[in-house]
Amino acid sequence: MNVMSKQTNSALSVDRLVKTFDVSAPWLNRVVERKPRQYLQAVNDISFEVPRGGCLSLVGESGCGKSTVARLVTGLYRPNSGDISFALDKDGEPLSAQMIFQDPYASLNPRWRVKNIIAEPIRELKLRNSAAEVSERVVELLKTVGLSASDGEKFPHEFSGGQRQRISIARALASEPRFLVCDEPTSALDVSVQAQVLNLMRRLQDEFGLTYLFISHDMSVVRHMSDRIAVMYLGRIVEDGETEELFARPRHPYTQLLLQTIPNIDNPNRDREVAGGEVPSPLKPPSGCPFHPRCPIATAQCSSELPAVRTLASGTRVACHLVGDE
């Protein structure tokens, strides 16, 4: 992972990122059954930028590779190729990134009190000089996310799902990052609690000048959070554009399909295009455009030739043979 050597308008730049997993059977099975190795290309040659103080959302169906991107950006996975570059802050240090996970209960140590969970990154990074200062910072963080100082004495199982996610956010903020990677942070929560957590994240972004890479499959959520949206399908970005432009004029057929899944209170019985077929296996992706087996407007070219990513006059980037400025 490389770090930019100068100040830029982008907090994060990802260039031609590739991640492949070896999912082969054990060696003996392959020998006896004469099976070749199998590789799963989870992320396939993607590029994007996240502006400072903004929010880019990666959206798509389960298995499209968006969570793999989150783990690559935070260093939990190493890419096979490509470049991940963080900009430098005002002190000349690379922007630090922290991750907020999908399941807050699984990401919190059940044997630790909340105060110790939040204090751990402060102690490890030596961000405060004394135990008293660490305790003071923990209380400050609890209050920042809408919890009380007394909550620090409790264990994670004593909280609701929404409260546990607030604890996860407090822990992420404890290391004083400027960049947060949010991997489906509200998908395990009730709708009303989702709204509370999303509003909290928006407030924290404004208050601390945070930059978000937001991962979700819920188009309603990303519209609320994002400045820009990148739509992923089978490891590739098929469309990338400003949020309102993408919602007003979705160009790629897959983006149009995703937007049709959003409930419409004013017109619940509206006509919707139905995509045929199943999502192809990432172990055996289709030739040409990965979406062509399900695309209602696919041509012979789509099944044989991978579309290049083109930038339209609106600034939207789209990978489709049949989409142009018209």
pLDDT tens sequence across 221-251: 898 899 999 999 999 999 999 999 999 999 9
Q: What does 152-166 look like in DSSP terms, one character per residue?
A: GGS-GGGS-HHHHHH
pLDDT of residue 273: 60
pLDDT of residue 82: 95
Query: Which helix H or strand E contains 212, and what residues bound it?
Result: strand 211-216
Q: What does 256-309 look like in DSSP terms, one character per residue?
A: HHHHTTS--SS-TT-------SPPPPTTSPPSSSTTTTT-TT--HHHHHSPPPP
- Res. 284: pLDDT tops 90: no
Nearest to 210 by CA among 250, 253, 239, 181: 181
Return the percentage of the chain with pLDDT > 70, whole number: 92
Confidence of residue 1 (pLDDT cuts 50, 70, 90): very low
Confidence of residue 311 (pLDDT cuts 50, 70, 90): very high
User: How many residues in total does the chain contain?
Assistant: 326
Q: Which residue has the higher pLDDT, 77 or 192?
A: 77
Residue with tokens 């730049």: 13
Query: Residue 104 in contact with residue 164, Cβ under 8 Å?
Result: yes
Interacting residues of 3 by C-beta distance below 8 A, sequence separation 6+: 85, 86, 88, 94
Interacting residues of 268 by C-beta distance below 8 A, sequence separation 6+: none
Task: Give the up-direction half-sphere exposure of residue 117: CA atoms within 13 A in the CB hemisphere.
Answer: 28
pLDDT of residue 262: 76
Query: Which helix H or strand E contains 203, and what residues bound it?
Result: helix 191-208
DSSP-assigned letter for residue 285: P
What average pLDDT score do residues 41-63 get?
A: 93
- Res. 306: pLDDT tops 80: yes
Q: Is 32 helix (H, G, I), strand (E, B) or coil?
A: helix
Residue 170 and residue 191: Cα distance in Å, rounded? Answer: 21
Query: Which helix H or strand E contains 293, and what residues bound it?
Result: none
pLDDT of residue 83: 94
pLDDT of residue 87: 86
What average pLDDT score do residues 23-35 get?
A: 90
What average pLDDT score do residues 74-84 get?
A: 93
Compute how many other C-beta atoms are within 10 angstroms of the C-beta atom of residue 244.
12
pLDDT of residue 48: 95
pLDDT of residue 3: 43
pLDDT of residue 38: 92
Confidence of residue 326 (pLDDT cuts 50, 70, 90): low
Residue 313 and residue 223: Cα distance in Å, rounded? Answer: 22
- Res. 42: pLDDT tops 80: yes
pLDDT, one tens digit per residue, over 114-168 is 999 999 999 999 999 999 999 999 999 999 999 999 999 999 999 998 999 999 9
Specify the pTM: 0.88
